[in-house]
Amino acid sequence: MPKVSEQDKSTINHINFVADSIHQFGDDLYEVDHILKKRSTNLDNINNNTALDTHLEERGIDKNDIVSVKHWQSGSGDYRFSIVTKENLGLDEEQIFGRVNDFIATYSPNYKIIKRNQGTHLLVINPADIHIGKYANEIETKQKYDCDTAVNRVIEGVTGLIDKAKGFQIERILFCIGNDVLHIDSVYGTTTKGTFQDTDGKWWEHYEIALRLYVKCVEMLRKIAPVDVIHCMSNHDYQSGFHLAHTLQSWFRKAKDVSFDISVSHRKYYKYGTNLLGLEHGDGAKMDKLPLLMAQEKPLLWSETTHRYWYLHHIHHKVKHKWLDGKDFIGVTVEYMRSPSSADSWHSRKGFTGAPLACEGFIHSKETGQVARLTHYF
């Protein structure tokens, strides 16, 4: 057997490598050609609705129930579908309109005028960041939260604040609504911005639950004193919360002792005696700008008051700061409200937990400002 030189060995190895590469390339070309042919066939099928019809038939989906269809192909050329039906979105018209019609049957009731003793204080009830529709699993987050939990906590919280205020003669009640009362703002389970959320139930269920909850709260409060309702626009439910506030106003349009400030304005103001209260969700202007914004936006009310407060929301825990004018010592207290809402999966994963869960309220005297702080913990 002739001796093979090192150079010949190198040449033979190179030839074998090229041959293997050509063979593999041929296999790859065949596979690519196979995939392209399969994709072409699938594209023809989808254009002719064949693939979609087959997909729907296999899963028992009626074409008339489809809201949207997304489609793509896998690496092997198989066609995939993502189908959203009316059932997925809670868009069963008969069910929704049946519930709405039943709801309208009790719509805008007549409220009798209540005779009350003259009071001397303002009661502020501020159940912040309720997030109806939020879902938290106790196994994952160590805290349970769903629609029932939200409703029960708010009713318990408002009742508790009323009990704590019994030592004061209440002249009026300021009831703050909005501030992420709803967890989502679309049929797709997202916030106004489009951030997906873990939810309990359908969007329209959340709306009905929130409306019934607010109706119950206002009915509880007006037994004590006339109620002034102020709505704050917020980031989770910017549109839905606005509509909810207007629905609530329509409900109480025959109640002469319930008033509303539910404009789209980002900052709301309320004057009681020498008190000027500013309300905002808390995701807008920075804290250090709020005192001057109050003076600029409401100069007349500013000049008529000596006790000024900002009540903010959004962050679910307590932050307090005070600005004092270096000369006149005119104070503006800015304060964030606690929330009754438990941490969901995202907040738990990020470690945003541990803040006390609570509903908060305040007592204001016409002459001396905030004289009591009320907190109902859960």
In 10 A of CB 281, how many CB atoms?
22
**Angle at the Cα of 109 (from 107 to 113), degrees rounded to 5?**
155
> Along the 378 residues of the chain, how does pLDDT read in single tens digits?
555 566 555 555 555 554 455 445 445 445 545 544 544 454 454 445 677 777 777 777 877 777 677 777 666 667 777 777 766 555 555 665 566 556 655 667 889 999 888 899 999 999 999 999 999 999 999 999 999 999 999 999 999 999 999 999 999 999 999 999 999 999 999 999 999 999 999 999 999 999 999 999 999 999 999 999 999 999 999 999 999 999 999 999 999 999 999 999 999 999 999 999 999 998 888 888 899 999 999 999 999 999 999 999 977 545 554 443 332 335 799 889 999 999 999 888 888 888 899 999 999 999 999 999 999 999
> Tokens 């072409």 appear where?
40
Which tokens sit at 348? 């738990």
Q: How distant is the alpha carbon of residue 358 from its chain centre?
A: 18
Helix, strand, or coil (residue 153): helix
User: 109 Cβ partners below 8 Å, 6+ apart?
Assistant: 251, 254
Q: Can you tell me the distance from the alpha carbon of 163 to that of 123, in angstroms, rounded to the nearest whole number? A: 12
| Residue 362 β-bridge partners | 124, 373
Q: Which of 259, 267, 260, 258 is nearest to 232 (CA)?
A: 267
Among residues 250, 268, 173, 263, which one has the least CA distance to residue 218? 173
DSSP secondary structure code for residue 132 in this structure: B
**pTM check: above 0.85:** no
Q: What angle do CA 294, 242, 217 make, to 5 degrees?
A: 90
